[in-house]
Amino acid sequence: MKFFVLFGPPGAGKGTQAGAMVERFNLCHLSTGELLRSEIAAGTPLGLQAKALIEAGNLVPDSVVEGMIEDKFQSVKGVKGFLLDGFPRTLAQAEALDAILAKSGDQVTACVSIMIPDALIHERIAHRAHIEGRADDARPEVVENRIKTYHDKTEPLIAFYKKVGKYSEIDGVGTIEQVRERIFSAMDKF
């Protein structure tokens, strides 16, 4: 079983590329946002816990998200692996993921990081806000905060995955097809 971590700053193209990655490598795409919405809609115990926290204006703790991911690892069949999108985002989450996978003798296969410069992040997110009507993408101060959060919280994962030889950085500048080929080439090595 392969376990790929997909990350990059907002607007890097993770959502655009994930579908093709899943199809080419027969992976189950686990997006933490979609997973939370699905668990809540299904009324699972973890979903009910998450719903209560969200309705109270609180963040869903790592332990709840980790439980949902571990459940998916155990329940999803007929795939060659998983593409984790939105998790891990912090060193603590990366360590928790390693612990979850170790229970079944598995480990992260690789971290595929799509990188683009900050100026392009602003440009892409503004375009996405216009095309998709996403209010959260329309306010420059919100976008700036998301970029800062990415640099502060998620970028430390680069060193974490480099240290264990599982980091693959993809140049996210270019056409969708050019970036996709770079991703496929990197993933083929694992």
Among candidate residues 24, 80, 103, 134, the one labeled active-site is: 134
- Measured between alpha carbons, how far is 137 from 142 in angstroms, rounded to an integer? 7
> Residue holding tokens 């700036």?
144
Q: Is 128 a residue of the active site? A: yes
- Measured between alpha carbons, how far is 7 from 122 in angstroms, rounded to an integer? 17
Among candidate residues 2, 37, 72, 146, the one labeled active-site is: 146
Q: Is 89 a residue of the active site? A: yes
Among candidate residues 89, 166, 180, 182, the one labeled active-site is: 89
Q: Is 14 a residue of the active site? A: yes
Q: Is 161 helix (H, G, I), strand (E, B) or coil?
A: helix
The residue among 29, 32, 36, 38 whose CA lies nearest residue 81 is: 29
| CA distances to 5, 46, 50, 67, 111 from 8, in Å | 10, 27, 25, 24, 10
Among candidate residues 124, 128, 166, 180, the one labeled active-site is: 128
List the catalytic residues: 14, 89, 128, 134, 146
